Amino acid sequence: MPPRIYADNAATTRLSEKALEAMLPYFREEFGNPSAIHSYGVEAKKALEDARRRTAKVLGALSTEIFFTSGGTESDNWAIRGVAEQKGGKGGHIVSSRAEHNAVLKTLEKLEGEGFETTYLEPDRLGRISPEDLERSIRPDTILISLMTANNVTGTIQNVKELARVASLRRVAFHTDAVQAAGHVPVNCRDLGVDLLSVSAHKFHGPKGVGVLYAKIPRLPPPLLTGGGQERGGRSGTENVPGAVGLATALEEAAERTREAPGALEALRDRLISGILEIEGAALTGDPVNRLPGHASFVFEGIGHSARLVNSLNEAGICASSGSACSASSQEASHVLLSMGYSPREALGSLRLTLSHENTMEEAEFIIEKVRESALRHRTRPAT
Ligand SMILES: Cc1ncc(COP(=O)(O)O)c(C=O)c1O
C-alpha cells in the first residue's frame, strides 16, 4: 500500500503508544474485576480509581464527579435522558441547537415522542450560538440546555462559559458535548460552570469504546444502565479498566502537548487553510478564529457532491472526510451546515480535513496540491 496521510482526526485518532503501553498490563497480568475483593480485584480497582483521579485533574473536576462510560454517545444519552427522567419523565422543555451531533439530536427526537418539548437554537453563519437567543428561549418549564463545546463538522468553538452562565442564572441544568474539544483545547469543568459534560477517548489518541460523563455534585442523573451498580450506582456493567487507564493517559498526554508546543498544530492548520483558500471556489466553514486547532473545513462551489473529492484524495493517499464521520457515506447534506444557512447544494460540496500532532508541514503542502488537482478535475461549472 502506498504511504497514507491521515487527515480525519475528528472521526477518530491513532491510539498513542504511551496509552497502549499503559493499558497492556490490564489486559494481561492485572485483568481482575474491580468489584472482586481478592488481590486481582484490588489491583484493578486501584488502576481504575487512579485513572479517575488523573482524568478529574485534567478536566478540573473532583474524582467523585467523573463517571466512565462507553464513549461520547452514551455520555450524551445519559446526560439528556437522565435529566429528563430526574424531572419526572413526563414532559418539560429542553433547549439545544440544530448543529449538535446526532447523539444529542436523536436522543431529543425520542424524548419528543415521549411528551417533551424542544427548542432548537439556530447558529449564525460561523456556527455560533448567541447567549441572547438562549436567554430568550428559556421557559418556566425548561429542564435542560444541551449545547456542544466544539462542532465536529466545522470546528467552531462555542463560548460555553457564557452560555452556561445564562443557564445557571435561570437555574436550568446545562450539558455540553465536549467530545471534539477535550484533549484539543483546555476543558475545565469548574471554570466552564457546566453541570454535565461528555468526553470520548478515541478523539484524543485514547482507545475506542470509553468515555466520561462529568456530573457536577449533586447533578448526577439517574442511571441509564441498571444492573450491578458499578460507578457508584451511576453506571452498571463491569468497568473497562484498560480503557479508563488509556483514556487518562491519553488525556494527560494531550494536555502536556498543548502546554509544551502551544500553537504548533494551529500553524499546520492555518497553512492548510490559506493554501486551500487559494483554490477557486473554496470557502472556509466555521469560525476562522475560535476553531479547533487541527480543524480545517471547507465548501467547494461547483464540484457537486464532495464524496468525489474525498475519493480522489483517497486515491492520492489522503484520508479526508466529506463532513461528519457518521454521515460520510450518506448522500445527504450536513445538517450542521444547513443549520448555519448554507444551501443544500453548497453543503453537499463540503470537505473536512482534521490534523493531529502526527501530521507534518510537508503533508499539509501535499494535501493542498492534491485538493487543488481534485477540485479542478471535479469542477462541473465555473465558480461564481
Ligand atoms: C461531537 C460529538 N459527539 C459525540 C460523538 C460520539 O462519540 P463516540 O464515537 O465516542 O460515541 C462524536 C463522534 O463523532 C462527536 O463528534
pTM of the full predicted structure? Answer: 0.96
Residue entry with cell 497502549: 20
Looking at the predicted structure, is the pLDDT value of residue 36 above 70? yes
Residues 242 and 278 placed together within one structural domain of the fold: no
Of the residues 223, 257, 291, the one at which a domain ends: 257
Cβ neighbourhood burial of 38 (10 Å; 0-12, 13-18, 19+): exposed
Mark whether 266 and 250 lie in a shared domain. no
Give the three cell numbers for residue 150: 466544539
Q: Are residues 242 and 200 in the same domain?
A: yes
- Give the pLDDT band of residue 87 (cuts 50, 70, 90): confident
Residue 383 resides in a domain:
no
Of residues 330 and 30, more confidence is placed in 30
Whether residue 222 sits in one domain with residue 83: yes
> Is 200's C-beta closer than 6 angstroms to any atom of ligand 1?
yes
Do 134 and 221 lie in a common domain?
yes
Report the domain count for the chain. Answer: 2
For the segment 124-181, what is each residue's pLDDT rounded down to a tens digit? 999 999 999 999 999 999 999 999 999 999 999 999 999 999 999 999 999 999 999 9
CATH number at 363 reads 3.90.1150.10
The verdict on residue 35 lying in a domain is yes
Q: Is residue 213 part of a domain?
A: yes
Q: Is the peptide bond before 218 cis (omega within 30 degrees of 0)?
A: yes
Residue 358 has pLDDT above 90, yes or no: yes
Q: Which of 193, 130, 359 is nearest to 266 (CA)?
A: 359
In this prediction, residue 382 carries a pLDDT of 54
Domain that holds residue 68: 17-257
In sequence order, what are the residues at sequence separation of 6 or more whose Cβ sits closer than 8 angstroms to the Cβ of residue 343?
Answer: none
CB 212, CB 202: distance < 8 Å: no
Local confidence band at 90 (pLDDT 50, 70, 90 cut-offs):
confident
**Using CA positions, which residue lies closest to atom 9 of ligand 1?**
72
Contacts of 83 (CB under 8 A, 6+ apart): 143, 144, 173, 175, 196, 221
User: Above 70 in pLDDT, residue 328?
Assistant: no
Do 69 and 198 have their domain in common? yes
Closest by Cα among 15, 2, 17 to 319: 2
End-to-end CA distance of the chain: 39
Q: Is the pLDDT of residue 35 over 70?
A: yes
CA distance linking residue 230 with residue 78, whole number of Å: 15
What residue's CA is closest to ligand 1, atom 15? 179
Query: Do 272 and 249 sit in the same domain of this protein?
Result: no
Is there a domain that residue 137 lies in? yes
Q: Are residues 162 and 248 in the same domain?
A: yes
Please indicate, yes or no, whether residues 32 and 73 belong to a single structural domain of this protein: yes
Residues belonging to the active site: 326
Residues 266 and 242 occupy one common structural domain: no
Decide if 384 is inside a domain: no
Residue with cell 459534560: 197
CATH number at residue 209: 3.40.640.10
Task: Write out the three cell numbers for 297.
Answer: 473545513
Tell me, yes or no, whether 189 and 274 share the same domain. Answer: no
Q: Which atom of ligand 1 is nearest to the CA of 200?
A: 10
Q: What per-residue confidence (pLDDT) applies to 264? A: 92
Answer yes or no: do 286 and 245 share one domain: no
Cα 149 to ligand 1 centroid, rounded to whole Å = 12
Per residue in 205-221, pLDDT tens?
999 999 999 999 887 89
Probe ligand 1: pick from 108, 152, 326, max atoms within 8 Å of CB? 152
